[in-house]
Amino acid sequence: MEKNFVIAGFGGQGVLLAGEVLANAFMLEDKKVTWYPCYGAEMRGGTVNCEIVMSDEEVSSVNKKEADFIIVLNQASFDKFEPKVKKGGYLIVNTSLAEKIENRSDIHYVFAPISEMAEKLGNVKMANMLSLGLLMRASGLLSVDILEKALDTVLPVHRKNLLPLNKNAMEMGYKYDLLAVNC
Amino acid sequence: MVECLNKTKVLTKGNYAIANAAVIAGCDCYFGYPITPQSEIGEFMSGKMQELKRAYVSAESELAAINMVLGACSTGKKAMTSSSSCAIALMQEALSYATSDELPVVLVSVMRGGPGLGNIFPSQGDYNQSTIGGGDGDYKIIVLSPSTVQEAVDLTYKTFYLAHKYRNPAILLADGLLGQMMEPVEFGEYPYPEVDHSDWALLGAKNRNSRIIRSYSPQEEPQCEHIRHIFEKYRHLEENEVMYEEIDTEDADLVVLSFGSLSRNVKAAIKQLREKGLKIGFFRPITLFPFPNKRLQEIAGKTKKFLTIEVNMGQMVRDVRLAVNGKVPVEFYGKPVGSWPSVEELAEAIEKAVI
């Protein structure tokens, strides 16, 4: 089994870190995994994204045409990645910064005001971890505990104090009622 | 910076993995000048080497960096630099000197787009630059080509070992994709024995006759003898150090070749076609020099056709054609630079070639 994920947003939303946490979580589950950042002459204020490919065997490739799961944290990412969700795949949308529109009928949309939820929890910067919680709920692939362990692996010692808050964010995402929104 | 020493399994970027492996291999000196897509190597070294009280110099140019490596290697130390395409072009003269001086230079090359300044996208356009090179005279460089981050670690160790064992420059040839991607790796310990350099290294001539390392040789015969001696080492390399990965070539009508991280896309495409019942084999040279000529000649006796796939306009394909010497047709598929062709695109290209 091979599944791939894209996390996209604008610079500063913690998109690459969220991808790193996700990739570490798969590694902790003994999966083969590859993380690859969007790469090129990027522009300040522009969009940023990364792709994570998880597999039971050697990861075949990155830069895939389509993804099983895509998280978009802003409108520009929504516009760019909505067409790239695999048929039957999931698009997780931050409705705080993107419009709630469904242009396709062959994919699952998960709409949630991710930035506002993170802000309510104490810090908008946790939108990235909150979105990972949503992803786990939609995909059923990993538990929040594994995500937390992965974040612990990634965080440098002087940032470990941020673990509890971020775990709350992951849990809030995980517990978000997907059915009530649209799934 | 990713802290990855002393951990069993870590998710790390290709560039950091290579740098960390070099540290574990016992690299005493790093000299470098930054260039995308390999700048993380210098970044990692700038912290780690100082912490370990080893030598790190941020050189004023690539030319300076490679010549500092030559200087450090002349004392028998493990020294390296790392760079990319257009900047490695600047180092060609020094590599030629280092082969004649018999210095164990280690160079990490993380390919980007060329020619000229090109761009920072991944590419495989420096196969020729690495295996043939642009320096003067008769020489060869040992070239190892990893396809995963774990293999980049393992081959970094091997690059150091072979450079020192054969006293010849060795290149670890990675690409921008491999340099930037993160994958789980285990570092382990440096698995090779240390090579004794005490009989030639320049460490001060107290209580012994002086030594001199130079490539200048004004007399005809000694120079011929010197070059024959160097080529004797290359013969040993070809006999003893060839590495390759081979899958399902026994019954294959078509054998597809590729090198580096692109091989993974190629393997996935072949797997799809095998499931459709097509008899396709796969072959990946891991050492680009010494090239697996002998094994390819054997396979050419059994299969009907070869197809070489590269992200360049056809470089390794020439070595494949030389190896099979007209025994079977060798076709080429590729693109000049940028994201690797998708598994679907490759499957289509390979299926076309099989008929």
Residue B116 and residue B20 share a domain? yes
Residue B204 included in any domain? no
Tell me what pLDDT residue B1 has.
41
The number of C-beta contacts closer than 8 angstroms across A and B is 63
Which residue in B has a C-alpha nearest to residue A29's C-alpha? B184
Which residue in A has a C-alpha nearest to residue B338's C-alpha? A40
Contact A36 B148 (CB under 8 A): no
Tell me what pLDDT residue B2 has.
45
Residues of A in contact with B344 (CB under 8 A): 65
What are the backbone dihedrals phi and psi of residue B183, each rounded to the nearest 5 degrees, phi first? -145, 160
Check which CATH number belongs to the domain holding B312 and give it: 3.40.50.920
Tell me what pLDDT residue B7 has.
57
Residue B127 and residue B19 share a domain? yes
* Number of domains forming the structure of chain A: 1
Q: Please identify, among B178, B212, B236, the residue that sits at the C-terminal boundary of a domain.
A: B236
Residue B213 included in any domain? no
Residue B134 and residue B14 share a domain? yes
Residues of A in contact with B184 (CB under 8 A): 27, 32-33
Look up the domain containing A9 and give its range: 2-176
Which residue in A has a C-alpha nearest to residue B339's C-alpha? A63
Contact B183 A61 (CB under 8 A): no
Look up the domain containing B181 and give its range: 10-191+231-236
* Percent of chain A with pLDDT strictly greater than 90: 86
Convert the pLDDT of each residue in B302-350 to its tens digit: 999 999 999 999 999 999 999 999 999 999 999 999 989 999 999 999 9
pLDDT tens for chain B, 355 residues long, are 444 444 589 999 999 999 999 999 999 999 999 999 999 999 999 999 999 999 999 999 999 999 999 999 999 999 999 999 999 999 999 999 999 999 999 999 999 999 999 999 999 999 999 999 999 999 999 999 999 999 999 999 999 999 999 999 999 999 999 999 999 999 999 999 999 999 999 999 999 999 999 999 999 999 999 999 999 999 999 999 999 999 999 999 999 999 999 999 999 999 999 999 999 999 999 999 999 999 999 999 999 999 999 999 999 999 999 999 999 999 999 999 998 999 999 999 999 999 6
**Tokens coding B107:** 């160079």
Residue B223 included in any domain? no
Contact A24 B148 (CB under 8 A): no
By the 8 A CB rule, do B43 and B84 touch?
A: no
Query: Which of A161, A68, A162, A50 is closest to B11 using CA atoms?
Result: A50
Convert the pLDDT of each residue in A61-102 to its tens digit: 888 889 999 999 999 999 999 999 999 999 999 999 999 999
* Option in A33, A37, A63 nearest B340 (CB): A63
Contact A23 B264 (CB under 8 A): no
Residue A181 included in any domain? no
Establish whether the linkage from the previous residue to B218 is cis, with ω within 30° of 0.
no
By the 8 A CB rule, do A170 and A148 touch?
A: yes
Residue A182 included in any domain? no
Residue B271 and residue B152 share a domain? no
Check which CATH number belongs to the domain holding A163 and give it: 3.40.920.10
Residue B176 and residue B30 share a domain? yes
* Number of domains forming the structure of chain B: 2
Residue B197 included in any domain? no
| Cα gap A19→A14, rounded to integer Å | 9
Where is B157: in which H helix or E strand? helix B149-166
Residues of A in contact with B181 (CB under 8 A): 34-36, 62
Check which CATH number belongs to the domain holding B149 and give it: 3.40.50.970
Residue A181 has pLDDT above 90, yes or no: no
Tell me what pLDDT residue A182 has.
47
Residue B203 included in any domain? no
By the 8 A CB rule, do B251 and B277 touch?
A: no
Is the C-alpha dihedral spanning B211, B217, B218, B221 positive or negative? Answer: positive
ipTM of predicted complex: 0.93
Residue B276 and residue B172 share a domain? no
Residue B178 and residue B253 share a domain? no
Residue whose token pair is 């697996």: B292
Residue B216 included in any domain? no
Side-chain-side CA neighbours of B70 within 13 Å: the count stands at 21
Residue B4 included in any domain? no
| Cα gap A152→B67, rounded to integer Å | 42
Tell me what pLDDT residue A63 has.
82
Residue A25 has pLDDT above 70, yes or no: yes
Residues of B in contact with A65 (CB under 8 A): 342, 344
Which residue in A has a C-alpha nearest to residue B340's C-alpha? A63
B20 Cα to chain A: minimum distance (Å): 17
Q: In sequence order, what DSSP letters do the residues of B278-333 get, joined into one string? A: --EEEEEESEEES--HHHHHHHHTT-SEEEEEESSSSSHHHHHHHHHTTSS-EEEE
Contact B9 A27 (CB under 8 A): yes
**Tokens coding B297:** 């000649």
Residue B209 included in any domain? no
